[in-house]
Amino acid sequence: MTDDTKSQDTPTWGPMRSFGRIKARTLKPRQASLFDSLLPQIVLDEARLARIVADPRIEYADATEVWLEIGFGGGEHMAAQAGHHPHALIMGGEPFLNGVGSALRHIDEAGLNNVRLLAGDVRPLIDQLPDGFIERIFIMFPDPWPKARHHKRRFIQPETIAAFARVLKDGGRVRFATDWADYADWTLERFLKSPDFIWPAEGQAAWNTPPADHVTTRYEEKKLGDCAPIFFDFVRKPR
């Protein structure tokens, strides 16, 4: 990919490790099979990403928008959004291989052809995206890193918010969800400090009520956090 597809202000990521384990249990036979059969067809390698950047319709003929889900977990949310929005080409990144296997199963069962997967850290992918390319970004229930000494590992940092601002179209949205109160406060504080985003919430229901197009995930149902789910939708200001 040539340098002219990217902004000269593309950030250089620090050594942040925002995710934990890469693999937990042995993949189920079906998931392992899909790694061999389905993943090569939809993997976000350099060649496929270059095609998407050149024109998303080359990769997916019905694409009118490109969305990005960061840390898609088991893939339920990403697959459901893809099914509900066939006009969107959805790129997803997840380093946890068991989650990738689960996502492949959801994609296969639903017969989706508008999802592309990266089994790894999504930040290098973001660096390769042109300015104003993405319509929506989802960050659903990321690792909260609740201990203070680990806060530097949280995905939401000033540099990631700046990266979102660069790749989002004017009026594009970032949806962030968490069930940890401290991470909600952390995220809101940093987005409100950004000159590139607005938070158009009106009243408490705007963040305590799931958005109309939200898809509940297995993680969310486990209620592992310390509060009810909180949802933020931040909007990219016009340049």
Is 143 marked as a binding-site residue? yes
Does residue 190 have a known ligand-binding role? Answer: no
Q: For residues 88 and 63, is the Cβ–Cβ distance under 8 A? A: yes
- Say if residue 6 carries a ligand binding annotation: no
Report the amino acid identity of residue 172.
G
Burial 143-176 (b: 16+ CB within 10 A, else e): bbbeeeeeeebbbbbeebbebbbbbbbeebbbbb
Q: How far is CA 94 from the centre of its chain?
A: 8
- Determine if residue 233 is labeled as part of a ligand binding site: no
How many of the other CB atoms lie within 10 Å of CB of 127? 16
Q: Is 221 annotated as contributing to ligand binding?
A: no
Q: Is 220 annotated as a binding residue?
A: yes
62 marked as binding residue: no
Among residues 81, 188, 191, the alpha carbon closest in space to that of 136 is found at 81
Please confirm, yes or no, whether 3 is among the known catalytic residues.
no
SS3 content of the chain, % helix, strand, coil (to 5): 40, 20, 40
Radius of gyration of the chain (CA): 17
User: Alpha-carbon distance 93 to 70, whole Å?
Assistant: 5
Q: Is 69 annotated as a binding residue?
A: yes
Specify the pairing of strand 230-236 against strand 168-178.
antiparallel
Element (H, E) at 182: helix 181-193
The answer for 135, left when phi > 0, alpha when psi is -120 to 50, beta otherwise, is alpha
According to the annotation, is 189 in a ligand binding site?
Answer: no
94 is annotated as contributing to ligand binding? yes
Q: Which of 108, 127, 131, 143 is catalytic?
A: 143
The single-letter DSSP state of residue 4 is G
Q: Which residues are annotated as a binding site?
A: 69, 94, 121, 143, 147, 179, 217-220
Q: Which residues are annotated as a binding site for substrate?
A: 147, 179, 217-220
Q: Which residues are annotated as a binding site for S-adenosyl-L-methionine?
A: 69, 94, 121, 143
**What is the set of active-site residues?**
143
